[in-house]
């Protein structure tokens, strides 16, 4: 984990502050929006390039863990997110959709850091990562239509255009790049490792651009931003308890239960943000929700990681006593 990855939360926060600051300059505010999509496309291209999609078969070596995490991530979690959105955000369609988009897209990168800290099975979490990526790319449009189709915010043409632009184009380009470097393993490894910090940088620049162009909207709607705090807290509390109970029921060892919890808790997918910025150009509060959400999520995950670490230690102590 490099220094930029360690400072992820701080970097995102500073990007928000910088964007809102430079957005006070009229010339910057008027032109910032045009940089958002190119930055997101570049970010997702490098993100897809780093994820070993061709190794997706490795996820199925532990069939029980794979099926359990997939059901929680792509069946249980969307239903939970929809229920929380209906109860707490039903009167505000933009926050409703932004919350659902945040919660139905599992994290595909830095949750491995939390897994390592909490003494989880990092190899198992890594194996499930490509499958999570592919499934969320495929299922996100369906979740939006199913759970958000009645809000009047979603236009199918804009949604399909944004999916083509910011998901499939970078995904195809990443696949073609990997094919080109297929027989040049050392060059490929060096190429990818040299690019490892760029997704965070591009995402931060995209956030700077978004807040430079729309920052005033956040100031005008601070009361709405507070509304997402309670459903986010409830999402993590309920999902943490649910994941631990399911892991116990499935008789997973403690390290695998830890991996299951963090795989099914961590959200903050740049994919959802990329879709929001392009599919809903006239609803910037959706994208703002997807930026504010992780600022709450990351401290929560840090606390949960410490709880999981305590569970791991208590379990290890109990095992030693039995011996």
What pLDDT does 321 receive? 62
Is residue 189 over pLDDT 80? Answer: no
pLDDT band at 262 (very low <50, low <70, confident <90, very high): very high
* Count of the separate structural domains present in the chain: 1
Which residue has better confidence, 251 or 30? 251
What pLDDT does 181 receive? 76
What 3-state DSSP class applies to 27?
Answer: helix
pLDDT band at 185 (very low <50, low <70, confident <90, very high): low
What is the distance between the terminal CA atoms of the chain, rounded to a whole angstrom? Answer: 36
Question: For residue 323, is it within any domain?
Answer: no
Question: For residue 179, is it within any domain?
Answer: yes
Question: For residue 66, is it within any domain?
Answer: yes
Which residue has better confidence, 62 or 156? 62
Is residue 307 a contact partner of residue 117, using CB atoms and an 8 Å limit?
no
Is residue 263 a contact partner of residue 242, using CB atoms and an 8 Å limit?
no
Domain that holds residue 278: 7-317
What pLDDT does 269 receive? 67
For the residues 234-238, what does the mean pLDDT come to?
96
Question: For residue 157, is it within any domain?
Answer: yes
Question: For residue 2, is it within any domain?
Answer: no
Question: For residue 322, is it within any domain?
Answer: no
Concatenating the DSSP letter of every residue in 149-183 gives TTSS---HHHHHHHHIIIIIHHHHHHHHHHHHTTT
266-299 confidence digits (pLDDT tens):
987 678 888 887 788 778 888 888 878 877 887 8
What pLDDT does 190 receive? 65
CATH number, domain of 295, equals: 1.20.1530.20
Question: For residue 1, is it within any domain?
Answer: no
Question: For residue 79, is it within any domain?
Answer: yes
Instruction: Kindly report the backbone phi and psi dihedral angles of residue 273, in degrees, each rounded to the nearest multiple of 5, phi listed first.
Output: -65, -40
């Amino acid at each position: 984990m490099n220094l930029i990855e360690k400072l992820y939360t701080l970097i995102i926060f500073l990007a928000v502050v910088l964007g809102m600051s430079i957005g006070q300059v009229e010339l910057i505010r008027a032109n910032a929006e045009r940089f958002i999509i190119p930055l997101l496309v570049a970010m997702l291209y490098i993100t897809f390039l780093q994820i070993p999609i061709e190794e997706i078969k490795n996820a199925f070596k532990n069939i029980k863990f794979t099926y359990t995490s997939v059901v929680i991530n792509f069946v249980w979690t969307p239903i939970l997110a929809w229920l929380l959105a209906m109860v707490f955000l039903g009167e505000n369609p933009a926050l409703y959709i932004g919350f659902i988009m945040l919660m139905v897209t599992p994290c595909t990168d830095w949750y491995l850091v939390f897994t390592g800290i909490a003494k989880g099975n990092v190899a198992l979490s890594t194996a499930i990562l490509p499958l999570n990526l592919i499934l969320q790319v495929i299922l996100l449009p369906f979740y939006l239509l199913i759970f958000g189709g009645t809000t009047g915010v979603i236009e199918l043409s804009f949604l399909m255009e944004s999916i083509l632009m910011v998901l499939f184009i970078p995904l195809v380009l990443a696949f073609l790049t990997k094919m080109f470097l297929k027989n040049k393993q050392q060059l490929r490894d060096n190429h990818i490792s040299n690019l490892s910090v760029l997704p965070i940088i591009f995402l931060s620049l995209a956030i700077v651009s978004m807040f430079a162009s729309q920052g005033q909207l956040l100031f005008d709607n601070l009361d709405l931003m507070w509304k997402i705090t309670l459903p986010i807290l409830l999402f993590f509390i309920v999902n943490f308890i649910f994941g631990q109970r399911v892991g116990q029921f499935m008789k997973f060892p403690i390290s695998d239960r830890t991996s299951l919890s963090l795989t099914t808790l961590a959200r903050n997918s740049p994919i959802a943000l990329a879709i929001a910025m392009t599919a809903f150009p006239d609803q910037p509060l959706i994208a703002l929700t997807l930026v504010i959400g992780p600022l709450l999520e990351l401290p929560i995950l840090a606390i949960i990681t410490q709880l999981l670490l305590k569970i791991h230690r208590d379990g290890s102590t109990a095992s030693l006593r039995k011996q």
